Amino acid sequence: MKQGKLIVFSAPSGSGKTTIVRHLLKQQELDLEFSISATSRAKRGEEVHGKDYYFLSFEDFKKKIKNDEFLEWEEVYRDNFYGTLKTEVERIWAKGKHVIFDIDVSGGLRIKRKFPEETLAIFVKPPSIDELKIRLKKRKTESDDKINMRIAKASAELATAPLFDKIVVNDDLDKALDEAYKLVSNYLGIDKK
């Protein structure tokens, strides 16, 4: 099986990493496929098992941890586990594609530590904590308490930015998309289209 590269995008909630990852997935010349994370949390809204996440019961998730089936995992919030199944990366590599991750900061750094030569780890940084709070409020998907919890976590996450290979500041989305494309295409050795 041909081993591809791993492209990690990590950031505090509301920084724009998901928008950047979706943009890169549309660039066919990059040959990327999205790594679907597993989670023990319940589905939200229109989420689909096997597309948005692999939804596992708390017991199944713990069993997979015990059986060493995860590349990385973390209890992000109490009893809410998230992780990357080894079989997910193998599935994508078997197709001859590179794996792109939209993943929390600690998970991203764990992947970088496990595969230092195969991984490009990019931190997406918001222009400021205040702007991050505005973006999270605009989503209208969470309570003020949940937003405040995310903001508190964001401060700690921002301190990890220097541990990543590259930092993309998302203060102008078009610029951030272009910069992310250039970083990934250069890493993969692909000329600009």
Residue 168 has pLDDT above 50, yes or no: yes
- For the stretch 29-65, pLDDT in tens is 999 999 999 999 989 888 999 998 999 999 999 999 9
Residue 14 has pLDDT above 50, yes or no: yes
- Whether 18 has a binding-site annotation, put simply, is yes
Runs of H (alpha helix) within the chain: 17-25, 58-66, 86-94, 105-114, 129-139, 144-158, 173-188
Look at residues 85, 80, 84 and name the one whose alpha carbon lies nearest to residue 40: 80
d(CA 42, CA 25): 26
Asked whether 35 and 88 are in contact (CB, 8 A), the reply is: yes
- Whether 14 has a binding-site annotation, put simply, is yes
Residues in a beta bridge with 53: 49
- Whether 125 has a binding-site annotation, put simply, is no
Residue 136 has pLDDT above 80, yes or no: no
d(CA 186, CA 166): 12
- Whether 16 has a binding-site annotation, put simply, is yes
Say what the pTM is. Answer: 0.88
d(CA 193, CA 147): 39
Helix (H, G, I), strand (E, B) or coil at 51: coil
Residue 186's identity, in one-letter code, is N
Residue 2 has pLDDT above 70, yes or no: no
Residue 162 carries which DSSP code?
Answer: G
On average, the pLDDT of the chain sits at: 91
Residue 140 has pLDDT above 80, yes or no: no
* Alpha-carbon distance values, 146 to 140, 150, 151, 153, 186 (Å): 11, 6, 9, 11, 37
- Whether 11 has a binding-site annotation, put simply, is yes
Q: State the pLDDT confidence band at 192, using cuts at 50, 70 and 90.
A: low
d(CA 179, CA 59): 41
CATH homologous superfamily of 6-188 equals P-loop containing nucleotide triphosphate hydrolases (3.40.50.300)
- Whether 35 has a binding-site annotation, put simply, is no
Helix (H, G, I), strand (E, B) or coil at 160: coil
